[in-house]
């Protein structure tokens, strides 16, 4: 469904991704693993067109999107939940969610029923400003905003980072449910290997801006984790 073919990505003159080849299968969770600073976030930003230059090809359902602007990629069905969440603190919960709807291809501006089902706290507090929410609630809001775009693919950049332990398990269950029950294709940047093993079908390990090993999640060995993730 989604394929990187010999992709290089740059911030100004800094060459971050090197000859990345990766296939993300429709309806699966692909976990992107590796130490900090290996290019995992840049991989997601490259997919969204948020780096300064991209060489190579990125294809979504045989459509070449590597040269398209970010809004066209969003309308093609890719939603992004960035590291740090990046909600707008002075917007209400409702306004933050509806921002995602501007990427819908059908022009609807509404909160999806799925958001109401997954995040009852948000629905009961739609007039509260996003900035007063806890880290976990803001992460829920960021996921809800992405779902308002009616995506086919959702990119999640370390969704449990900085979240209180009581909500981590809830976020993990929601991510798995979005894939298993809703059918979303998920690219998950994650440091928690145990969660990646529970959630993902496949993995890609990154080192110095390259995918150094990939395969079925059952093939992810402890030796690989130690070699490429141990500090």
pLDDT at 103: 93
Residue 214 bridge partners (DSSP): 204
Q: Which two tokens stand for residue 4?
A: 């990187």
pLDDT at 1: 85
Which residues of the chain fall below pLDDT 70? none
**Which tens digits make up the pLDDT trace of 5-19?**
999 999 999 999 999
**Which tens digits make up the pLDDT trace of 55-98?**
999 999 989 999 999 999 999 999 999 998 899 999 999 999 99
**91 burial class (0-12, 13-18, 19+ CB within 10 angstroms)?**
middle
Closest among 78, 85, 72 to 43, alpha carbons compared: 78
Question: Order of strands, edge to edge, in the sheet holding 78-81?
Answer: 78-81, 153-157, 185-189, 29-33, 202-207, 210-216
Question: What gap in Å lies between CA 96 and CA 98, rounded to an integer?
Answer: 6
Closest among 197, 177, 189, 200 to 84, alpha carbons compared: 189
SS3 204: strand
The secondary structure of residue 62, as a DSSP letter, is T
- Options 1.25.40.10, 3.40.50.720, 3.40.50.300, 3.40.190.80; which CATH number does 28-50+77-229 get? 3.40.50.300
pLDDT at 129: 97
């Amino acid at each position: 469904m989604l394929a990187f073919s010999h992709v290089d990505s740059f911030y100004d003159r800094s060459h971050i991704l090197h000859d990345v080849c990766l296939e993300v299968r429709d309806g699966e969770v692909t976990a992107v693993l590796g130490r900090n600073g290996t290019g995992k976030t840049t991989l997601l930003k490259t997919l969204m067109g948020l780096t300064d230059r991209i060489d190579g090809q990125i294809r979504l359902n045989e459509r070449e999107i590597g040269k398209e602007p970010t809004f066209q990629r969003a309308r093609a069905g890719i939603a992004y939940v960035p590291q740090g969440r990046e909600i707008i603190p002075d917007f209400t919960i409702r306004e933050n969610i509806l921002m995602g709807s501007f990427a819908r291809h059908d022009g609807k501006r509404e909160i999806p029923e799925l958001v109401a089902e997954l995040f009852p706290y948000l629905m009961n507090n739609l007039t509260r400003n996003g900035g007063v929410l806890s880290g976990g609630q803001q992460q829920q809001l960021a996921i809800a905003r992405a779902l308002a775009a009616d995506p086919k693919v959702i990119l999640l950049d370390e969704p449990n980072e900085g979240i209180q332990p009581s909500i981590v398990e809830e976020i993990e269950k929601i991510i798995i449910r979005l894939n298993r029950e809703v059918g979303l294709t998920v690219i998950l940047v994650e440091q928690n290997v145990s969660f990646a093993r529970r959630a993902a079908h496949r993995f890609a390990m990154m080192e110095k801006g390259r995918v150094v090993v990939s395969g079925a999640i059952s093939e992810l060995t402890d030796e690989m984790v130690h070699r490429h993730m141990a500090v």
